[in-house]
Amino acid sequence: MLNKNSTRRDFVKSTAGLAVAGAVPYFFSQPRTFADETQSKNDRLKVALIGAGGMGVGNMNAAKAMCDVVAIADVDSQRLNKANKDLSGGKADVYDDYRKILERDDLDAIHIATPDHWHTKPLIEALRAGHDVYCEKPLTLTIDEGKLIRKVVKDTGRIVQVGTQQRSTYNLFVKAIALVAEGRIGTIKKIDVAIGGAPESPAIPAVEAPKNLDWDRWLGPAPYVDYRALQRKKGRPFSNCHYEFRWWYEYSGGKLTDWGAHHVDIAIWALRANGQATSPLSIGGEATHPIPFENGMPTLNDRYNTATKFNFKALFPGDVEMTIRSEGNGITLEGDKGRIRVNRGRLTGKPVEDLKGNPLPDDAISKAYKGLPVESNERKAHWANFFYCCRERKEPISDVHSHMQMLNICHLAGITARLGRPINWNGETEQITGDDQANSMLARPYREGYEIEG
């Protein structure tokens, strides 16, 4: 296994150390740190990709100045071969079974960018095999999976970066957090998180899965169902597979986890930066699904089922109220001294305007970023943060513990949506109180052969 292979680890560590000597605070703002042509091929970081879809390939493109993609696994041979051509000129080793990647002892890190229902299992297996991992958000499909991952990260001491790259967007989200931490909005009283709603679909017929796709393994831990696809006039087909898995609770949490994982994350980061409680006491509200639900389960299996519209309120200690809603996109943080709004395009509000006359202290951004080196381009910076933390054996900016603190809220919103009633939460025990049915939804059953062992 990689990290039992001290030769490679030490070599990369010492080489990288030389490259940045004296430049630690802005480590990766030196553009050629790992991409230096004078370095021999052996010096470059070796990364393996599991899940060569839109995000996996996009992420590796963002990271490629710092690493080589030497191995790729996907259950769709067409995607696998295309990614190999695009990312490594056809030179990577390709696998239809990701477990072959976990056995390799020549890797510096693994990137997991499979659909959400396929995150926890390969992540835990990779950590147990001694690898450091950059895993896409949302880290889990359930709250209990998060408990298991946190335990395995503690047990193994491996480095895990979660793919919430907004945490590495220094000019927007990190700056917003720095403003909060510097007291510019005071004590937070209200938070509004707008994340958009999910689409509906017509009935999607069961059809034969494409020959290039191993449908059984794509489903993996999820229940066995037919492959469904329906070509629309333009764009990708309606389906229960590539990209569209987001709109099925069997494989995702819909917008609540797809974008909730980004924007609820910033909201909870702000509370934490302000020293305020990050675990809600209760959550409830309105949700519209495209089909009726009974006992928390969809009553039709041939079309998208995640919430198209919603408006939830989560209550936190200190009478702090967080709205999570489907209209719009962005986060508004309202404190007793001021209010700021941030999304991927803009950071606004009086405290932002006031920066002209009253700038943040020099170290405010770096402090908000856990004192780690900062770079402004979000995806590349997030990878730089990961590689830096692998080398230094530090907790990355998107660590599993703080990620799960906020993802719990997204999952709780999904449970309250599916059951159509409010729920109470005990953040200490991580249990829903007074509602056995809701509590049973903290976990999911795994298909035989795909069980997850901690």
Summarize as ranges the residues that interact with ligand NAD (CB under 6 A).
Answer: 50-56, 73-76, 79, 98, 113-116, 118, 136-137, 163, 165, 217-218, 220, 242-243, 258
Per DSSP, the three-state class of 116 is: helix
Question: Among residues 108 and 116, whose Cβ is nearest to ligand NAD?
Answer: 116
Give least dist CB 313 to ligand NAD, A: 25
Closest by CA to 80, choosing from 61, 52, 50, is 52
Torsion angle, alpha carbons of 9, 135, 28, 107, to 10: 20
In the complex, minimum distance from the CB of residue 121 to ligand NAD, in angstroms, rounded to a whole number: 8
Output the residue with the shortest Cβ distance to ligand NAD.
53
- Cβ distance to ligand NAD smaller for residue 363 or 451: 451
79 or 325, CB closer to ligand NAD?
Answer: 79
Residue with smaller CB distance to ligand NAD, 115 or 335: 115
Amino acid identity of residue 329, one-letter, is N
In the bound state with ligand NAD, the residue whose beta carbon lies nearer, of 110 and 374, is: 110
CA distances from 293 to 11, 57, 441 (A): 56, 36, 14
Integer Cα distance of 261 and 268 in angstroms: 11
At its nearest, how many Å lie between ligand NAD and the CB of residue 419? 24
Helices (H) and strands (E) in the chain, counts: 15, 19
CA 364 to chain CA mean position, Å: 25
Q: Which of 351, 291, 344 is CA-nearest to residue 168?
A: 344
Length of the chain: 454
Per DSSP, the residues of 234-282 read SSSPEESSTTGGGG-TTT--THHHHTHHHHHHHHHHHHHHTT---S-SE
| Residue closer to ligand NAD (CB basis): 76 or 250 | 76
Q: How many CB atoms lie within 10 A of CB 206?
A: 13
Q: Distance between CA 264 and CA 257 in Å, rounded?
A: 9
Closer residue to ligand NAD (CB): 137 or 228: 137
Provide the edge-to-edge strand list for the sheet that holds 282-288: 347-348, 339-342, 329-335, 188-195, 320-325, 309-316, 282-288, 423-426, 431-433
Q: Report, in Å, the least distance between residue 204 CB and ligand NAD.
A: 16
Q: How far is the CB of 237 from ligand NAD (least distance, A)?
A: 12
The CB-of-236 to ligand NAD minimum distance in angstroms stands at: 9
C-alpha 408, offset from chain centre = 13
Closest separation between CB of residue 326 and ligand NAD, Å? 17
* Shortest Cβ 262–ligand NAD spacing (Å): 7
Write down the least CB distance from residue 61 to ligand NAD, Å. Answer: 12
**Please, which residues bridge with residue 161 across strands?**
134
CA gap 272, 379 in Å, rounded: 23
Q: Which is nearer to ligand NAD, 242 or 394 (CB)?
A: 242
Contacts of 369 (CB under 8 A, 6+ apart): 168, 170, 174, 397
Q: How far is the CB of 284 from ligand NAD (least distance, A)?
A: 26
Among candidate residues 388, 340, 53, the one with its CA nearest the CA of residue 186: 340
| CB nearer to ligand NAD: pick between 407 and 415 | 407
Rounded to a whole number of angstroms, the minimum distance from the CB of residue 43 to ligand NAD is 28
What sign has the CA pseudo-torsion 187, 397, 378, 149? negative
Residue 222 DSSP one-character state: S
If the CB atoms of residues 6 and 212 are measured against ligand NAD, the closer one turns out to be 212
Smallest distance, Å, CB 213 to ligand NAD? 7
Q: Which stretches of 420-453 are DSSP H helices?
A: 436-440
Nearer to ligand NAD by Cβ, of 59 and 156: the residue is 59
Q: How far is it, in rounded angstroms, from Cα 59 to Cα 49?
A: 10
Q: Which is nearer to ligand NAD, 73 or 149 (CB)?
A: 73
